[in-house]
Amino acid sequence: MSLLLISGSLRGGSTNTALLRTAQAIDADTELFARMGELPHFNPDDDGDDLPAAVVELRAAVGRVDGVLVCTPEYAGALPGAFKNLLEWLVGGGEAYRKPIAWINISGPAAPSGGADAHDSLRKVVRYISMEIVEEACVRIPVTRDAVGDDGLIADPGIRERLAAALAALRAGAARVEAF
């Protein structure tokens, strides 16, 4: 059972992306979509037969996996614009229909809402595009910048253990969705 990992951050030193890279190190049957910054602004007029390469790759990746794991920051009380744009490209393709999805919130204790507004916004969008939310895999695992090593991974055993548990919960939820 394969999982697609999507970071909602374009930042080079993103802790969200570091957590997902760590997920790849823990679980080999995952792939990280790394072309969010290449996606053009969504325009329904452009959602036709001649799609940009990054959109084709995104839709193909979502279509070939069994589930999606997202880790996104919150900007200005909602989803980052580039990540919302990525989700908009999934509306017309159909690959996301009934696809299991979960998210991990890595906001530290100082975050005003703990990322809740971004995740409420994400919940609304993924329901609109008919993705299946695996609630038990949607967890909060605080990660600070100093937890990320020079290799871009998180070595802390507690964080890695919680991440592995979230991956397992997403896989179990995805198996239930496929059984229907």
pLDDT at position 76, please? 84
For 63-99, the pLDDT digits (tens) are 999 999 999 998 888 899 999 999 999 998 999 999 9
Q: Which fold has domain 3-179?
A: Rossmann fold (3.40.50)
Average confidence (pLDDT) over 41-47:
93
> Any idea where the domains of the chain sit in the sequence?
3-179
State the Cα torsion 121-122-124-128 to the nearest 10°: 140
pLDDT at position 74, please? 86
pLDDT-derived band at 107 (thresholds 50, 70, 90) equals confident
Position of tokens 């997902």?
Answer: 20
For 117-173, the pLDDT digits (tens) are 888 889 999 999 999 999 999 998 999 999 999 999 999 999 999 999 999 999 999
pLDDT-derived band at 111 (thresholds 50, 70, 90) equals low
What is the token pair recorded at 32?
Answer: 């990280």
Amino acid at 9: S
Helix (H) or strand (E) holding 101: strand 100-105
pLDDT at position 9, please? 96
